[in-house]
Amino acid sequence: MACVLLFSRLHPFSHRLTRTSICLLSLFLSYLCYCALFPADTIMQKSGDPTPSCQRVVADGAKRRIQKTPSCVLPLDARPIIVEVSRLKSDQRPPSILHIDTPVLPWFGNKKLPNAIIVGVKKGGTRAVLEFIRIHPDVRAAGTETHFFDRNYDRGLEWYRGLMPRTLESQITMEKTPSYFVTKETPHRISAMSRDTKLIVVVRDPVTRAISDYTQTLTKSPDLPSFQDLAFRNQSLGIVDTSWNAIRIGLYALHLENWLRYFPLAQIHFVSGERLITDPAGELARVQDFLGLKRIVTDKHFYFNRTKGFPCLKKPESSGSPRCLGKSKGRTHVQIDRDAIEQLRDFYRPYNIKFYEMVGHDFKWE
């Protein structure tokens, strides 16, 4: 209204003004109107110093945010603050909502090198751990395996950084590439990037893991030799072929020795692939503790899918179906001769015992 009155007073003199002057005057009046309607202290905040009004708009409007996802307008150089539903106290949350995906908007945050990496092992349950932990609002993860430290190291750290999602200062950046654990050069390369990187290794009974590995490969190469032909140099004598990758991966103690040259044991967390199936919430609680996160991912997020024989994430209210891992997860293993299995258990036993002693935990694979 004030803008209209001011313009009416200036109108009698408008014939004396040039077109340029009129345009500049219009822009100036528009700016004054905008400032009057939208005070800066209600929509902007300085980095590290969020104003109470901005926080109040987000918190008080939490229920509306679920439908419209409003946010405070921030200056480009400010650190954005996004309050997610999963961070609200239980009495502030809408009913019947287990998890609301509130991704960081693409123009917020920065791409950072990872704070934590799931380094192994293949067919241990790494995809499940990543999918489960990334529903935590303080975790953002690269969606695909980057293979930077084993296949693409010559591309440089800036190329690697470019593969990471944008994260806020308070969030953890993660990636997972299971082949890292068995690649000799990887521990040194990750250490050169940052000695503070936290490492997660998902381990599983090496015999079961080898059979699962073979089953996956068989679906891609139906003409593959039998499991026994690949696993043994001489089965009658019980001589195992450790050059076969499916067997070599399960020598966890030997691979761990290489990692301990560059990282202390306290910086490596081991997830049990077996317990990840029977007690996913318990395993995720330990992962959250290791990463220094609040325990937000709990048993209310999971249900057991009897068809797949694997836990799945319960669906959020906004989704039409639960979130389960792909068809390749939880597939039925090929049948292997019982004698061959026992021979492999005898082969792995001393390596398993040494691994238990190194990490201070008995995974009970015998």
Instruction: Report pLDDT digits (tens) over 16-69.
Output: 555 555 656 666 666 665 555 555 444 334 333 433 333 433 334 433 343 334
Considering the candidates 89, 112, 122, 123, report the single residue annotated as catalytic: 123
The reply, when asked if residue 329 is annotated as ligand binding, is yes
Binding site annotation covers 102?
no
- Greatest C-alpha distance within the chain: 108
Residue 189 assigned to a binding site: no
Bridge partners, 310 (sequence order): 305
Residue showing tokens 């902007």: 44
pLDDT tens-place string over residues 74-132: 333 333 333 333 333 333 333 333 433 445 555 689 999 999 999 999 999 999 999 99
Could you tell me where the DSSP H helices lie in the chain?
A: 2-10, 19-37, 40-43, 52-60, 62-68, 126-133, 157-162, 186-193, 206-220, 227-231, 245-248, 252-259, 273-278, 280-290, 338-359
Beta strand 239-240 with 166-167 is unpaired
68 is in an annotated binding site: no
Is 187 domain-assigned? Answer: yes
Q: Is residue 146 a part of any domain in this protein?
A: yes
Compute CA 334 distance to the chain's CA centroid, rounded to the nearest angstrom.
Answer: 31
The CATH code of the domain that includes 320 is 3.40.50.300
pLDDT at 333: 82
Asked if the structure places residue 231 within a domain, the reply is: yes
Q: Is 123 a catalytic residue?
A: yes
Given a cut of 50, whether residue 157 has pLDDT beyond it is yes
Flag whether 354 is marked binding: no
Give the mean pLDDT of the chain: 80
Is 273 annotated as a binding-site member?
no
CA dihedral in degrees (352, 353, 359, 362; nearest 10)? 90
Tally of domains in the chain? 1
Q: Per the domain annotation, does 170 fall within a domain? A: yes
On whether residue 228 sits in a domain, the answer given is: yes
Which is higher by pLDDT, 346 or 62?
Answer: 346
The verdict on whether residue 292 carries a ligand-binding annotation is: no
Cβ atoms of 200 and 269 closer than 8 Å: yes
Predicted TM-score of the model (pTM):
0.70
Distance of CA 156 to the CA centre of its chain: 22
What is the domain extent for residue 325? 110-359
Q: Do residues 140 and 292 lie in contact, with contact meaning Cβ atoms separated by under 8 Å?
A: no
- Domain-embedded: residue 294: yes
Residue 89 marked ligand-binding: no
Residue 338 domain flag: yes
Residue 239 lies in a domain: yes
